[in-house]
Structure 1
């Protein structure tokens, strides 16, 4: 899969050059979660998947499940060749896109999560206040009290700390691979992060629609794809006329 994405991303970049669209196109390469799965097989042999040393992977509240890359390029508009280490998240995309496109966010929806990242994209040392980011993966059965899942696969993240499952604290700035629980050394941090998580939960719970519904045994899109591949084949990509 990675090789396929790499090949096709290269084709995209070549076409943007050919069509002279780089100065009019913002390209972002990112993922939605950490490594999917803990292991795989190659030629029948079990192999470990690359996690860059981070703890666990997709579906977990640890760094390995939620820390992802994001590469941005907009020729002539964004500064190139810089690394940004500030704590950002998917919730920052909307405001950033609004600024980049010159779109005014209506006053009625000004209360949005997220920040405008444009100043960081051009200056990685720009002022960026610390913040709390919340992770919660809990799913509950239909009719079950959601509060029973309040601390199911959850975390609070700040620039320095990650508080996981209401009990484990990691000093991410000094321990990015989450090897040592320091909750007993910093009880005041635990109390503070637990407090902000409690407040977040109370505010967001009325908005959650997260009852655990069973997946369908048959995925319609997979069935149609396999049928098309069997009956007509998958056509080659046709270059658009631009």
Structure 2
């Protein structure tokens, strides 16, 4: 056969296989692996990549050196429960009812009905439908149950994660066993005030009976009811918080109660490594969400050699141990040949908690760099500006930096694009894929970003032609001479925040620390502020009424939703790694 005819015949024979394999190759390229590393309460200035020279974070800094550092990266809320819901869904928490209109800013019990609504679409659900193996290791804090202790309607398994190992709530100071109490830290006179209220109520009933207004049997009934309600709703949960909340689950099985800090850091890492092994064995792309329990209080160290290692006490030790965890997971990618095919995202759920202390009075909260304020403060940047590091070999230029305005809500659409999946309408995040490819660009995908604290709009950012401007309706009600509150500042007016009758305008392009307001009587203020207020009006008109997850009825502790292993002891130990050296 002539060479030309032979070549044509060969091409025709190969053409079907080319047609079949080509889409597969394209699909593979659209489905990189995804690793999300989220730290709890890490301050913007706590890592070397953001300028810290006294705490060693070489593994976290490696992500920045091999990828991009987002210098203007914001959470959607200054506290973990709402901010995590926004990261997962790409939506402002207020659109999902995941913001409080009361002082309680997070879910306080695993045995409550509050949680991320089951109808919300998370990036894990999309990944799961796209053929990914999905896993969450560490902290959840987005709910567990709806109507009974076996339904797990708000559990990670019901929000797109094939595998879960970790804490359904969060670490609380009470878990340390050192006599610390989150309730006493937040409300130092809580039990005294409850007792006085109860005594005043009982005294009033006694007076009512004495002067003949109330019959004797009714007084006795109301007195007993008051004692029972006070004990059940306001006292018992506080005394039992370590028992009812200190839990580790593997999938929906309660495997440890209370949480033991022995080898806890290592156990989370080992679970992450095991997840990677199973994804490789199955030949699937993976989405692994490493949601660290550190550096939230109570501070603990379980890796040998990290206690007393840093120049910043327990808190610095915790950061360096967290960095060790990051290094172990990055090394696990390298050893399995996965690094070049994996998107890595590193951040924190909110700013550092600068008011936090240990039981000995040692500082136990983060450093927010030049930014004022702290966790739970929605108006100033210390509560919402967080580290944002991304590594994506072949897409993001190594060692780059972007000063463009970005949000954690942008991770949702960006990951969906990477998976090759359509981005749904009605979300607030914007894909930053283009920005990641050209990080030197300062063009943000956002014109406006809205800063909520609870249900209140505390501030608005405008990526204007004149630079990034910020209009503040509220400021934290700091203690005199400080830039903090006693423990945390509340969101509500008069309960931690002060509303400005005339909003404050700042030019963040020249004044990132927010120290010099644009005068309200200036031409610039009169010209710019109406445009920001109009954007606020349009945004708030786009909000629809949804059931709140932060009603008292949803948040209250319900005994019938309580998980308890070895009932009635509520005590068990995860023995899976007992024989493994630390």
Regarding TM over 0.5, the answer is yes
Greater shift, 83-92 or 47-56, is seen at 47-56
| Aligned-pair CA distance for 1:188 | 2.3
Residue 102 of structure 2: aligned partner: none
Q: Which has the higher contact order (CA 8 A, sep 6+)?
A: 2
Higher helix share: 2
Instruction: Decide whether the 8 Å contact of 2:435 with 2:441 is kept in 1.
Output: yes
Runs (4 or more) in structure 1 with deviation over 3 Å come to 41-49, 109-112, 207-212, 214-224, 227-231, 233-239
Q: 1:69 to 1:207 in 2, by over 3 A?
A: farther
The correspondence of residues 114-153 of structure 1 with structure 2, limited to 5 A, is: 114-126=429-441, 128=443, 131-139=447-455, 152=456
Task: Name the Cα RMSD after superposition.
Answer: 3.3
| Aligned-pair CA distance for 1:213 | 2.3
SS of 1:26's partner is strand
Matched, 1:177 2:513: yes
SS of 2:411's partner is helix
Matched, 1:161 2:469: yes
- 1:213 aligned to which of 551, 559, 575: 551
Instruction: Decide whether the 8 Å contact of 1:170 with 1:178 is kept in 2.
Output: yes
Matched, 1:78 2:396: yes
Q: TM-score, normalised by structure 1?
A: 0.76
Q: 1:230 to 1:155 in 2, by over 3 A?
A: same
Q: TM-score, normalised by structure 2?
A: 0.34
Instruction: Decide whether the 8 Å contact of 1:170 with 1:182 is kept in 2.
Output: yes
| Cα displacement string for residues 183-235 of structure 1 (whole angstroms, at most 9, x for unaligned residues) | 5131322222122112211221x2444464244469989977xx999642564
The correspondence of residues 35-46 of structure 1 with structure 2, limited to 5 A, is: 35-41=352-358, 43-46=360-363
Alpha-carbon distance in 2 for matches of 1:210, 1:32: 21
Residue 33 of structure 1: aligned partner: 350
Residue 407 of structure 2: aligned partner: 89
| Cα displacement string for residues 38-81 of structure 1 (whole angstroms, at most 9, x for unaligned residues) | 24237434577411021112222221111111111122333211
- 2:387 aligned to which of 47, 63, 69: 69
Alpha-carbon distance in 1 for matches of 2:398, 2:528: 37
Alpha-carbon distance in 1 for matches of 2:564, 2:320: 25
| Aligned-pair CA distance for 1:32 | 2.1
Unaligned runs of 5+ in 1: 140-151
Residue 535 of structure 2: aligned partner: 196
Greater shift, 30-39 or 3-12, is seen at 30-39
Unaligned runs of 5+ in 2: 1-294, 296-318, 474-499
- 1:55 aligned to which of 372, 377, 386: 372
Matched, 1:113 2:431: no
| Aligned-pair CA distance for 1:29 | 0.6
Residue 143 of structure 1: aligned partner: none
Alpha-carbon distance in 1 for matches of 2:326, 2:578: 14
Residue 236 of structure 1: aligned partner: 577
